[in-house]
Structure 1
Amino acid sequence: VDRRGAGRQRQNAPRRGVDLSYTAMLTFEESIFGVEKVIEITRDEVCETCHGSCAEPGSNPAKCTNCGGRGEVRQVRQTFLGSMVQVTTCPNCAGRGEIISHPCHTCKGRGLERKTVKKTVPIPGGVDSGTQIRLAGEGQPGVNGGPTGNLYIEIKVKAHQFFKRKGNDIILNLDINIAQAVLGAELEVPTVDGNAKLVIPAGTQPGKVFTMRGKGSPILRSTGRGDQMVVVNVDVPKTLTADQRKLFEQLATTLGTEVRPQEKSFMDILKDVLGG
């Protein structure tokens, strides 16, 4: 009874190649609109001299006489439970099932060469940090005729000076002055598509969020786009000219001195928008 070798894969059976990974750094704009990236990866490739046979051209591998080409040897041991078969890698051929008398001079009998290769990878718009792109068959070569592994590209996006991502939406914090908040204004604000018009109504409060439809990130594997969320903050001047101070003092006499506690601060509103 074979109690230890049951279900064991033969040493010279085909095995899939190892997967490889690569980290691609993108700018914020590249992550939104997509880009073609030229990457360099180092991997094993089939030896161009021996074409993977491991033997010098003109010579041929010979079947291992110790294991009969199986790549493994079996030893039967008698125990109180009965006969047990122990399967181990053939020490003569190291599990290959063949003996290489004249190893290839290029790969030293490995059948593989270490090479650095360049690949042009199309990265679609809408990716974000953590997105993985799979390139099938671009990993390590298989063993004993097994399939090649895959290459997984992990995306990392550099922080932008102004924009932040929340899913498919883009967040922009925008400072406006007191006059614009009180009287209203028509502003040109930055978006990933260039400047766009945003109307600020009179009486806009700090923390007000304006939605610019379709100005967000493309939705991956879809034709739609997210929105741009503009979070308004009212910028209170730290210094005033004499004329400005006089105008504010005149305004203050008409506004009274009543104070009203707020349930939410500007930072609370901002955290709600950012999901934090």
Structure 2
Amino acid sequence: MSQDPYELLGVGRDADADTIKKAYRKLARQLHPDVNPDPESQERFKQVTAAYEVLSDPDKRAAYDRGGDPFGGGFGGQGAGFSFTDIMDAFFGGNAGAGAGRGPRPRMRRGQDALIRIEVELAEAAFGVSRELKVDTAVRCTTCGGEGAAPGSHPVPCESCRGAGEVAHVQRSFLGEIRTLRPCAACRGFGTVIPDPCRECAGDGRVRSRRTLTVKIPAGVDNGTRVQLSEQGEVGPGGGPAGDLYVEIHVAPHEVFERHGNDLHCAVTVPMTAAALGTTIELPTLEADLPASEDVERSFDLQVPPGTQSGHQVVLRGRGVPGLRGGRGDLAVTIAVDTPTRLDPRQEELLRELAAIRGEERPTGDVRPAHKSVFGRLRDAFTAH
């Protein structure tokens, strides 16, 4: 195999440092003995590692470009300067062996969001309402102020990691010693320990508490709408900032109105005579469910025109539910005609008299097909022309 470092890494002679490093990482992942234990792969791994050691050093690369010995005494020889960190970088994508490390993790962290579900009436969802809620969440411990230490004491640096939050672990391999950093077990990676924890919160910096909140539900909310209360959720460990509280709305069914988006629907039954002659019906508005102290329109007159058929729908604009972004839906009223099932002799006599006047003693009925076939519709279309 070629001893040219550029050919071993598969890069051009004008490749920059980043390109060379990426090429080495890719090959190291493929050829590392833990992945490919066969002797040929191990030998090639040594070669590409030695090639990278040459090309990653500006002085050695310049010497090779001037015609010098690329490996100067062989892999692992005196002055080779092989970096095990680059191998760890190839597998873990970071500076695993560097002295800087990640550092201690903070005790204070943001808390989790909380969710509570409440039920409201349709009118409350439509026009908005304020509700008092009792919530049980974690709050900052007032005894220690969230620090976790008993009053008069404070967290102290960990003796095991000397405040770094990490300890070095050395593992021997055929490549030499590989140094990695792991979270300190003594302080759990915090870098500090609490010798005298707060008795109220047991060192967590937070306690459970029940409190009362007022939530303003905006007009136009619907089933599943969530109202967000910022920083009213769970306080985080170490007295960290609280998460958010989400209030999920469930709208209770209404005895008169049914909601479809921002529109309301209801059904009204009228007698057969009223449908034939026409009438006026007083209907309640949705506002009628609001507190009596509010000055709102609580009913209106619905005009049922003469000859109204069962299933006829009257749409009243702007009497539905207000939208979250403005505007208001409609109210659709469906008329159902009630045909009497029992008549006394006088009522039956009058109806027969009316049927005779209208020539309806023996009605034949208006029989129509439920649907037409495709050919029937085509025939009707040609006939019309």
TM-score bracket for the superposition, by shorter chain length: 0.7 to 0.9
8 Å CA contact 2:141–2:201 kept in 1: the answer is yes
Distance in 1 (CA, whole Å) between partners of 2:250 and 2:369 is: 39
Question: Are the structure 2 counterparts of residues 84 and 34 from structure 1 closer, same or farther at C-alpha, using a change threshold of 3 Å?
Answer: farther
Question: Are the structure 2 counterparts of residues 65 and 191 from structure 1 closer, same or farther at C-alpha, using a change threshold of 3 Å?
Answer: same
Distance in 2 (CA, whole Å) between partners of 1:85 and 1:181 is: 92
1:260 shift after superposition: 3.6
8 Å CA contact 2:141–2:239 kept in 1: the answer is no
User: 2:254 maps to which residue?
Assistant: 160
Distance in 1 (CA, whole Å) between partners of 2:165 and 2:306 is: 82
Distance in 2 (CA, whole Å) between partners of 1:131 and 1:246 is: 58
Are 1:109 and 2:109 counterparts? no
Say which of 252, 258, 280 aligns to 1:186: 280
1:107 shift after superposition: 1.0
Deviations 1:42-81 (A, max 9, x none): 1111100000111111111101122333434443435578
Say which of 218, 222, 225 aligns to 2:328: 225
User: 2:340 maps to which residue?
Assistant: 237
1:39 shift after superposition: 0.6
Question: Are the structure 2 counterparts of residues 28 and 82 from structure 1 closer, same or farther at C-alpha, using a change threshold of 3 Å?
Answer: farther
Distance in 2 (CA, whole Å) between partners of 1:129 and 1:216 is: 16
User: 1:46 maps to which residue?
Assistant: 140
Q: Which moved more, 1:157-166 or 1:252-261?
A: 252-261
User: 1:258 maps to which residue?
Assistant: 365
3-state DSSP of counterpart to 1:234: strand
Distance in 2 (CA, whole Å) between partners of 1:188 and 1:66 is: 82
1:4 shift after superposition: 4.0
User: 1:267 maps to which residue?
Assistant: none
User: 1:60 maps to which residue?
Assistant: 154
Distance in 1 (CA, whole Å) between partners of 2:306 and 2:248 is: 46
8 Å CA contact 1:12–1:144 kept in 2: the answer is no
3-state DSSP of counterpart to 1:258: coil
3-state DSSP of counterpart to 2:286: coil
Distance in 1 (CA, whole Å) between partners of 2:167 and 2:348 is: 95
1:195 shift after superposition: 1.4
Bigger relative contact order (CA 8 A; separation at least 6): 1
8 Å CA contact 2:313–2:335 kept in 1: the answer is yes
8 Å CA contact 1:39–1:121 kept in 2: the answer is yes
1:181 shift after superposition: 1.3
1:263 shift after superposition: 5.8
Deviations 1:216-250 (A, max 9, x none): 1111132x211111011112222223222222222
The letter for the 2-side match of 1:242 is: P
Distance in 2 (CA, whole Å) between partners of 1:236 and 1:85 is: 92
TM-score normalised by structure 1 residue count = 0.85
Distance in 2 (CA, whole Å) between partners of 1:249 and 1:80 is: 111
Structure 1 spans left out of the alignment, 5+ residues: 265-276
Distance in 2 (CA, whole Å) between partners of 1:24 and 1:81 is: 63
The letter for the 1-side match of 2:126 is: I
Identity of aligned residues (%): 37
Distance in 2 (CA, whole Å) between partners of 1:151 and 1:246 is: 70
User: 1:12 maps to which residue?
Assistant: 105
3-state DSSP of counterpart to 2:135: strand
- Which is richer in strand? 1
TM-score normalised by structure 2 residue count = 0.62
User: 2:163 maps to which residue?
Assistant: 69
Distance in 2 (CA, whole Å) between partners of 1:5 and 1:145 is: 33
Question: Are the structure 2 counterparts of residues 103 and 143 from structure 1 closer, same or farther at C-alpha, using a change threshold of 3 Å?
Answer: closer
User: 1:206 maps to which residue?
Assistant: 310
8 Å CA contact 1:5–1:86 kept in 2: the answer is no
User: 2:233 maps to which residue?
Assistant: 139
8 Å CA contact 2:315–2:330 kept in 1: the answer is yes
Deviations 1:110-138 (A, max 9, x none): 11111111100011121111111111111
Q: What count of residue pairs does the alignment treat as equivalent?
A: 263
Cα RMSD of the aligned pairs, angstroms, is 2.6
The letter for the 1-side match of 2:336 is: N
Are 1:92 and 2:186 counterparts? yes
- Which is richer in helix? 2
Q: Which moved more, 1:125-134 or 1:93-102?
A: 93-102
User: 1:118 maps to which residue?
Assistant: 212
Deviations 1:81-109 (A, max 9, x none): 88766554422122332111111111111
